[in-house]
A and B are shown apart, each in its own frame.
Chain A
């Protein structure tokens, strides 16, 4: 492997490792869950990204050809990161945040809370519509 390739691989790995470190540091020091969610969803995409880039450069430089696995890893990461972030946020909203703390969202409210209130409204409504025939 040429000196140039070695330098490129090292620089990419150091960049990736520092972003991963900052992501973990943010996870530790930010004050509450919603703020902490920002650190790993962002600072790690570039962290993982440049380590994978380093891997591609390395395998190309030692003559193993172009490796495509890394691109797939990046793709799957970008597909799954927003979904897991959304799950965490909604679980947090539902367990720890009152709906009136959030800004208003039209007539029906936010989806996370709407389902619960629908259930609450549905039960009495059906029992009320079924009650009269029994009487």
Chain B
């Protein structure tokens, strides 16, 4: 309460008490969902976890990313869920009907325009969960991803497809 004179200090004190309000809210919701029923006791325990866990793990999030648009994040989630359903069918067909020798497996390098580690992590996880691609490694300078494709005719086209479909949207979400 005495801090507002110095904006930096007020931010520090708020970070000390509630470093990541969004994580706290998510933790409380998770706890209530885990219990599968609502009661005052569960709510209090959830609130205690929501206060404690972000403080204990604050060191792991030195610079939390700012999410610009939650609406776009929700749309992205739906798009990825849809793509995962399609990916399952695509990969199942490849596994069942394509001879291994005719699978065009290859490594693909995806150059990154995203900078925030959290955004890159979401991008890599999306690639792993969707059509016939697994993200395997990040370059040491953090500028490109190594992706293994189960069946890709052209490496450049595959990389461009991933960038156009996911990275463009993530850039809008994380800014």
Contacts and interface: CB of A to CB of B under 8 A. Distances in A.
Interface of A: 19, 22, 25-26, 29-31, 34-35, 37-39, 41-43, 45-47, 67-69, 71-72, 78-79, 81-83, 85-86, 89-90, 93, 102-112, 114
B135 A86 contact: yes
Contacts of A68: 33, 36
Closest 6 CB pairs of A and B: A114-B140, A108-B140, A46-B88, A105-B139, A26-B95, A89-B136
Given A22-B92, A71-B33, A106 B129 contact: no
Interface in B125-173: 125, 128-129, 131-132, 134-141, 143-144, 146, 148, 150, 155
B143 A42 contact: no
Interface residues on B, range: 35 or more
Contacts, number: 123
A105 B109 CA distance: 8
Which of B88, B109, B125, B155 has the most chain A CB atoms closer than 10 A to its own CB?
B88
